[in-house]
């Protein structure tokens, strides 16, 4: 996409337009493609790497710049850089149907990849392939939401797939080393968060190897720190308790 702006004779290429409606009027800014997402996620912090120009337009493709009085009415200021930041953060990215379709396909694949990486069949402990997860997502008619991160959506997909197939997040294997005095009492508090206790060793200290749901890790970590006043330790032995080989549908 190449845009010629007759007002300042700047030829804008590789443009992503971000649009916002305020006070009954339309305002647009011209950005570099693939940079808007980086800005919104915090990866890109240099505004000049995102904006093609610090001008606010009513129509980027025609090169029509917004009037000063319209900016003041809509945004309470005529500081174009500040207005650009507002539109960049809250505006709607304009993409072609083809671009939107490609984006949705990529996000769909990314979500399936995250789910396949995090989950197993709870009976066999084997992971599912990405292709199999994609097929299952199509079966439940999952529709991708462009305004949510792929990680958030992967967690939603896992919940929905649980109703249709044997799937759960792979357990983390942890080792706790706890002072004996606090250890027995703390073990009772930890029990609701532990899926399986694999071994217990009472010596000078209490050592427990167990499996937990990854979603409980922070709570387990904070509980051990608080109850042992920093004397206990937690070690991640494996992020995923899985068996070799991929799971297949019968």
Neighbours of 1 (CB within 10 A): 13
pLDDT of residue 13: 60
31's CB contacts (< 8 A; 6+ apart) are 15, 16, 17, 18, 50, 51, 52, 88
* Sole residue written with tokens 């702006």: 5
Confidence of residue 244 (pLDDT cuts 50, 70, 90): low
How far is CA 185 from each of CA 175, 197, 223, rounded to the nearest angstrom?
17, 16, 12
CA distance 207 to 186: 12
39's CB contacts (< 8 A; 6+ apart) are 45, 47, 50, 88, 89
Which structural domains are found in the chain, ordered by start?
15-94 (3.30.1250.10), 97-169 (1.10.10.900), 172-238 (3.30.70.240)
Q: Is there a contact between 220 and 234 (Cβ–Cβ < 8 Å)?
A: yes
Q: Is there a contact between 137 and 111 (Cβ–Cβ < 8 Å)?
A: yes
pLDDT of residue 243: 59
Residues in the chain: 250
Coil, strand or helix: which one is 206? strand
Stretch among 8-17, 126-135, 187-196 having the lowest mean pLDDT: 8-17
The structure's pTM equals 0.58
How far is CA 181 from each of CA 89, 188, 223, 227, 228, rounded to the nearest angstrom?
52, 13, 16, 11, 9
Pick from 240, 239, 40, 46: nearest CA to 149: 40
What tokens does 98 get?
Answer: 């083809």
CA distance 191 to 196: 9
Confidence of residue 95 (pLDDT cuts 50, 70, 90): confident
Residue 245 pLDDT exceeds 80: no
Highest mean pLDDT among 8-12, 178-182, 225-229: 225-229
β partners of residue 205: 179
Averaged pLDDT, 89-104: 84
CA distance 246 to 250: 13
Pick from 78, 131, 137: nearest CA to 246: 131
Residue 216 pLDDT exceeds 90: no
Residue 250 pLDDT exceeds 50: no
Confidence of residue 249 (pLDDT cuts 50, 70, 90): very low
pLDDT of residue 206: 87
Averaged pLDDT, 176-199: 86
């Amino acid at each position: 996409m190449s845009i010629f702006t007759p007002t300042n004779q700047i030829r804008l290429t590789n443009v992503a337009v971000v649009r916002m409606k305020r006070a009954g009027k339309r305002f647009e800014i011209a950005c570099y493609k693939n940079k808007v997402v980086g800005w919104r996620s915090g990866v890109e912090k240099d505004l000049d790497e995102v904006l093609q120009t610090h001008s606010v337009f009513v129509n980027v493709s025609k090169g029509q710049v917004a009037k000063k009085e319209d900016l003041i009415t809509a945004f309470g200021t005529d500081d174009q850089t500040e207005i650009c930041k507002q539109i960049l953060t809250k505006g709607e990215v304009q993409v072609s149907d083809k671009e939107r379709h490609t984006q949705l396909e990529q996000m769909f694949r990314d979500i399936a990849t995250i789910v396949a990486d995090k989950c197993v069949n709870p009976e066999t402990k084997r992971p599912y392939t990405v292709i199999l997860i994609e097929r299952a997502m199509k079966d439940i008619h999952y529709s991708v939401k462009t305004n949510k991160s792929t990680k958030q959506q992967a967690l939603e997909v896992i919940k929905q797939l649980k109703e249709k197939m044997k799937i759960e997040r792979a357990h983390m294997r942890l080792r706790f080393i706890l002072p004996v005095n606090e250890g027995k009492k703390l073990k009772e508090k930890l029990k609701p968060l532990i899926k399986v206790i694999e071994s217990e060793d009472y010596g000078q200290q209490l050592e427990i190897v167990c499996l937990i749901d990854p979603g409980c890790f922070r709570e387990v970590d904070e509980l051990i720190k608080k109850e042992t006043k920093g004397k206990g330790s937690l070690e991640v032995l494996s992020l995923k308790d899985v068996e070799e080989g991929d799971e297949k549908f019968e």
